[in-house]
Amino acid sequence: MTQRSGKDGMSPKTTRREPAGFSTRAIHHGYDPQDAKGALNPPIYMTSTYAFEDARAGGELFAGEREGYIYGRLGNPTQALLETRLAELEGGEAALATASGMGAISASMWTLLRPGDELIIDKTLYGCTFSFFTHGLREFGITVTPVDMTRPENLEPCITDKTRVVYFETPANPNMRLVDIAAIREVIDASPHVDNISLVVDNTYCTPYLQTPLKLGANLVVHSATKYLGGHGDVIAGAVVGEKETIDRIRMYGLKDMTGAVIAPMDAFLVLRGLKTLRLRMDAHVKNAQALAALLEAHPLVARVFYPGLESFAWAETAKKQMRAPGGMMAFELHGGAMGDLEAGIHLMDQLRLIICAVSLGDAETLIQHPASMTHSTYTPEERHVHGISDGLIRLSAGLEDIADLEEDLTCALDATWARVKKAKAGESNRLEPTSQGY
Ligand code: 3LM
């Protein structure tokens, strides 16, 4: 499969004088149908191994003296096209597609870190990422230091000559805290250890359509492609994007030797298919999310809504600075009163008829879940408290359904739960939980 056959990596027919737009690149970049018997869609290369031209050529491939494919754990043409396209969309030199988001994160960390090194992480991360870092890597002699990076000045005193990676999500899963990517880059640049440090940003919530961390100073971007990139809840996949030299090292060590988290050819195809409609879907997710966040904020049952598109959002300025739009994810807390915030949340989720109670995000279906008992149950209760994930927090991923149907479903459930809260016997006062954003 020829890649980058024309200018902008397009086939000569689709090459334009101006740089192509996001959707055009997401649909065409790196693939010319004429290289695959005219097939409009790229072939799925269902093969685990590759025949060498002759025995000498096999040796040369292994020695890196010749370009080509060796074995499926090191690469596959369908995977290679997905990588070319993701690198293009994120504005990186190269990408590596993996079997899951956790595969991308773990392959990257096994490559970048050694015993004795220090990893600085933001206070709030997706549950399994947090667990891999604080319960996993710490067992292997790596120092893991959580810092509230929503205030970039907090980072400076933590950087030492042992610091190798600074890692955060923005928006953070699940409580939507934002970290100013360019401001963190400035803090790292001002440090005497700048040359040793990789800034790694998880861009799962935004996708490259809404935010491009590499252009703001990140060294690597990681993704759960299971989410918006795939977009249809039918594939588990991940990716890491950045400088070619680093991506090559992650492929040949973190992926090949340490995790084996290779993406299947069919899954690479599904993510490529998802990318074609990414822009259309993201615009629709954002529209629905904006309406649902406003509806939640106006309801008496709801204590707080965390959504970058609301004026009440604590990091609205940072959102405007680095995100094209506020995204499709939100979190909220309820006034549970004597019923308790958690009980009220469970009641609310059980009242919904259209919105589905499930983990994951970025699918066509609107999904709702309770981080403390689900996605973030990998934190101990003490860790959740320290890291700003309240027991009453509920997370919603706005899907692509008709907004009137979503509004009706959510309103009915909110009203029913509010009626229950009001009926609940008084006596036990509202619990004074810290809010999920620690203010
Ligand atoms: C979830 N998140 O429901 P995979 N980075 C971020 C993520 O949100 C995730 C990953 C990495 C969820 C999954 S919870 C059991 C379901 C910001 C995943 C990891 O390995 O592709 O799942 O990505 O929040």
CATH code, domain with 155: 3.40.640.10
- Checking if the pLDDT of 120 tops 60, the result is yes
Active site (annotated) includes residue 126: yes
| Cα–Cα dist 164/253, whole Å | 17
Which pLDDT band, with edges at 50, 70 and 90, does 370 fall under? very high
| Residue nearest atom 24 in ligand 1 by C-alpha distance | 360
Active site (annotated) includes residue 402: no
Same domain, 211 and 175: yes
Active site (annotated) includes residue 56: no
Integer angstrom CA distances of residue 417 from 6, 348, 354, 375, 394? 58, 6, 16, 23, 14
Same domain, 158 and 186: yes
Are 233 and 197 contacting, i.e. CB atoms less than 8 angstroms apart? Answer: no
| Structural domain contains residue 36 | no
Please give the tally of structural domains in the chain.
Answer: 2
| Cα–Cα dist 401/410, whole Å | 13
Instruction: Give the pLDDT of residue 17.
Output: 57
Instruction: Give the pLDDT of residue 15.
Output: 53
| Cα–Cα dist 141/326, whole Å | 38
- The distance of Cα 28 from the centroid of its chain, to the nearest Å, equals 23
| Structural domain contains residue 18 | no
Q: Which of 295-299, 302-306, 387-391 has the lowest mean pLDDT?
A: 387-391
Are 305 and 292 contacting, i.e. CB atoms less than 8 angstroms apart? Answer: no
What mean pLDDT comes out for the span 148-165?
98
Instruction: Give the pLDDT of residue 198.
Output: 98
Residues 6+ positions from 317 with CB-CB distance below 8 Å: none
| pLDDT tens column, 329-345 | 999 999 999 999 999 99
Same domain, 289 and 386: yes
Residues 6+ positions from 71 with CB-CB distance below 8 Å: 48, 49, 50
Q: Examine the fold and report which residue of 276, 308, 333 is the final residue of a domain before the chain moves on.
A: 276
Instruction: Give the pLDDT of residue 432.
Output: 44
| pLDDT tens column, 244-290 | 999 999 999 999 999 999 999 999 999 999 999 999 999 999 999 99
207 lines ligand 1 (CB under 6 A): no
| Structural domain contains residue 93 | yes
377 lines ligand 1 (CB under 6 A): no
| Cα–Cα dist 361/189, whole Å | 34
The CATH number covering residue 420 comes to 3.90.1150.10
Mean pLDDT of all residues in the chain? 94
Helix (H) or strand (E) holding 223: strand 220-224
- Checking if the pLDDT of 14 tops 80, the result is no
Instruction: Give the pLDDT of residue 19.
Output: 79
236 lines ligand 1 (CB under 6 A): yes
- Checking if the pLDDT of 436 tops 70, the result is no
| Structural domain contains residue 21 | no
Pairing of strands 356-357, 329-334: unpaired
Same domain, 93 and 203: yes
| Residue nearest atom 1 in ligand 1 by C-alpha distance | 360
- Residue 96 has phi, psi (to 5 degrees) of -130, 125
- The distance of Cα 136 from the centroid of its chain, to the nearest Å, equals 20
Same domain, 321 and 266: no
- Say which amino acid occupies 400: L
| Cα–Cα dist 435/428, whole Å | 19
- Checking if the pLDDT of 433 tops 60, the result is no
Rounded to the nearest whole angstrom, what is the distance from the C-alpha of residue 126 to the centroid of ligand 1?
A: 6
Q: Examine the fold and report which residue of 276, 296, 311 is the final residue of a domain before the chain moves on.
A: 276
Q: Which of 73, 249, 276, 287 is catalytic?
A: 73
Same domain, 258 and 399: no
- Say which amino acid occupies 266: M
The domain of 172 spans: 41-276
Tokens coding 434: 């810290």
Same domain, 132 and 234: yes
Contacts 24+ apart (CB under 8 A), 11-18: none
| Cα–Cα dist 366/170, whole Å | 21
360 lines ligand 1 (CB under 6 A): yes
Residues 6+ positions from 377 with CB-CB distance below 8 Å: 127
169 lines ligand 1 (CB under 6 A): yes
Are 269 and 44 contacting, i.e. CB atoms less than 8 angstroms apart? Answer: yes
| Cα–Cα dist 324/317, whole Å | 12
| Structural domain contains residue 96 | yes
- Checking if the pLDDT of 439 tops 60, the result is no
pTM across the whole model: 0.94
Same domain, 226 and 362: no
Q: Examine the fold and report which residue of 241, 276, 311 is the final residue of a domain before the chain moves on.
A: 276
Q: Which atom of ligand 1 is nearest to the CA of 125?
A: 17
| Structural domain contains residue 179 | yes
| Cα–Cα dist 281/367, whole Å | 15
- Say which amino acid occupies 151: R
Same domain, 183 and 307: no
| Structural domain contains residue 12 | no
Q: Which of 227, 324, 384, 420 is catalytic?
A: 227
Rounded to the nearest whole angstrom, what is the distance from the C-alpha of residue 115 to the centroid of ligand 1?
A: 26
436 lines ligand 1 (CB under 6 A): no
Same domain, 190 and 261: yes
What mean pLDDT comes out for the span 202-225?
98
| pLDDT tens column, 181-200 | 999 999 999 999 999 999 99
| Structural domain contains residue 26 | no
Q: Which atom of ligand 1 is nearest to the CA of 102?
A: 20
Are 211 and 90 contacting, i.e. CB atoms less than 8 angstroms apart? Answer: no
Instruction: Give the pLDDT of residue 24.
Output: 98
Q: Which atom of ligand 1 is nearest to the CA of 174?
A: 24
Rounded to the nearest whole angstrom, what is the distance from the C-alpha of residue 398 to the centroid of ligand 1?
A: 16
Integer angstrom CA distances of residue 143 from 136, 184, 390? 11, 20, 26
Same domain, 221 and 111: yes
- Pocket mutation for ligand 1, best pick of 109, 125, 224, 374 (most atoms within 8 Å of C-beta): 224
Integer angstrom CA distances of residue 89 from 27, 49, 207, 371, 409? 11, 29, 9, 30, 36
Instruction: Give the pLDDT of residue 163.
Output: 98
Active site (annotated) includes residue 227: yes
Tokens coding 96: 């590596």
**Strands of the sheet with 356-357, listed across from one edge:** 302-306, 329-334, 394-397, 367-369, 356-357
Integer angstrom CA distances of residue 438 from 82, 146, 298, 309, 386? 39, 15, 22, 20, 9
Same domain, 133 and 165: yes
361 lines ligand 1 (CB under 6 A): yes
**Strands of the sheet with 163-169, listed across from one edge:** 94-98, 238-242, 220-224, 198-202, 163-169, 118-122, 143-147
